[in-house]
Each structure stands twice: as C-alpha cells, then as structure tokens.
Amino acid sequence: MGFPFAYYDLLDAFAKPGCAVCALLLRDAAQFLDKLLYEFVNDRQMQRAFRASYGLCNPHSWQLTGYRGGALGAAILHAAVLGDIQAKMDRFAPASAALTGISRLFRADAPGEALARALEPQAACMACERLAVAESDAISTLAQVIHLPDVQSAYQASEGLCLPHFRQLLRQVSSPSDLKAVISFQAAIWSKLEAEIAEFQRKSDAHYGDETIDADEATSWLRAVGQVAGAKGALPGTRRP
C-alpha cells in the first residue's frame, strides 16, 4: 500500500514537541517565505500576487523580516506595494472644499470611505492561503490513516493536536472505532498536561517552596497555551481580503 507524503510527514511531526499539524504548517510557512525572498522576489506573477494582497498578514510579514540576507528582497516586494498604494491615493484626491453643509448629507460615502475601500487587499495573504491547503491535506491524511498501528502509536506518544486541529480531525474521522480511539488518545494527553499544570501551580505556592518544579511542569503553562490556541504563527487565515 502506498502512502501520501503527508503520512510520513505526520509520523515525523508527532515525534516533535507540540501539535503535529502545527509543526508541519510552521515548516511549510518557513519554506514558502524562504522561496519568496530568495527565488521569486523578481518574479512578475509573484509580485502581482503580493501587491494584490498588500503584502502578507501581520505574523507572516514579521516572520519575513527574520531571514538573513532577506532585506533587499523584502524591500523590493514592499516597495511595489507602496507604489500601488500611492497610485490609488493620487486618484482619490480630497473633494473640493466647497462640498460643505447640506451637500455632504447626500454623498454616498463618508469622507475617506471610498479611499479606505480602495485600499483593502484584493486577495488573502499568500502564505496563509498555502497553509490552508497544507492544513487541509494534513488533516485529511491523518483521518485516513489514523487506524494504522504506527500512526496510533505515534499519536499516543506525542503531545497530540492543538484544539483547533483536533476539532478539524473530529469532523473528518468517519469510523466510530477510529473516532473513539482519537478521542481516547487526546483525552489522555490533555489529562497528563492538566496534571503537570496542577503540580506547577501547587509547587509555585510558597508553602511548597522546598519542592523542585521539574522541566515538564515548568513548561506546562506554555504548552497549554499552544494546545488551546495552536502554535504561534501556525494557523492560516489570519487576514482575509
């Protein structure tokens, strides 16, 4: 039986900290931004797409600034966006100062509304769009192979999925036995995390100051944030047109 690449990617991701799907999306985002800066910055089609979305969403825009040697590429891409913005602003010069009093009441838009609409992005963040496809593929593949012993073992030994991705998986697992298994695996993972958080809280009390907080307990609150919200920067769809 042949497996899609996502199957092997998931097995590898389950061995890493945090949500396995989030780990894959963070990897894919990094790969896309790397190619954008170093391979496609002068590609006309890519530049048009970058201008249409007015750059990337906030998280991916700032992630773009972290690439060594990427300053020139980022400058080229964003200069094109600023050029489009300025061109639109030039076409929306302020109305005549004579437009006052009762005539303002009959204008279709409030002052600045037409320009504000013109400056809305015409496309979603390119990185988020690609992550949305990768996310769908990963969840779909996991739902299809969750019955396999090696996948179940990898899931149980991992930190499971974050809540957003667990919800998506629940909606795609059709087999009652597979669904029961997934719920059991995730419940056990979260129960262990809850116990670690409880110990972190208890040992943080001055009455138990002589007890050492171990590494798992010390990071439990951070892992809880990731489990509830997803890994930082991993969830697509942060900005829509």
Per-residue model confidence as pLDDT tens digits over 26-62 = 999 999 999 999 999 888 999 899 999 999 999 999 9
How much is the pLDDT for 95?
52
Give the chain's radius of gyration (CA, Å): 24
Domain ranges across the chain: 5-229
Q: What are phi and psi of 164, to 5 degrees?
A: -60, -40
Question: Tell me: the pLDDT tens digits for 52-95?
Answer: 999 999 999 999 999 988 999 999 999 999 999 998 888 876 55
- The single residue listed with the structure tokens 């990071």 is 219
This prediction has a pTM of 0.84
The band of 106, judged by pLDDT with boundaries at 50, 70 and 90, is very low
How much is the pLDDT for 32?
94
Q: What is the DSSP string of 195-226?
A: HHHHHHHHHHSGGGTTSPP-HHHHHHHHHHHH
How much is the pLDDT for 183?
98
Distance linking the first and last C-alpha atoms of the chain = 41
Which range, of 21-30, 91-100, 150-159, 188-197, averages the lowest pLDDT? 91-100
Can you give the three-state secondary structure of 108-153, one letter per residue?
A: CCCCCHHHHHHCCCCCCCHHHHHHHHHHHHHHHHHHHHCCCHHHHH
Q: Are 120 and 239 in contact (CB under 8 A)?
A: no
The band of 238, judged by pLDDT with boundaries at 50, 70 and 90, is low
Q: What are phi and psi of 43, to 5 degrees?
A: -75, 125
Question: Tell me: the pLDDT tens digits for 166-220?
Answer: 999 999 999 999 999 999 999 999 999 999 999 999 988 888 778 888 899 999 9
Which two three-digit tokens encode residue 184? 């059991």
CA atoms of 6 and 236, how far apart (whole Å): 18
Average pLDDT of the segment spanning 105-118: 70
Which of 10, 231, 235, 27 shows the shortest CA–CA distance to 141? Answer: 10
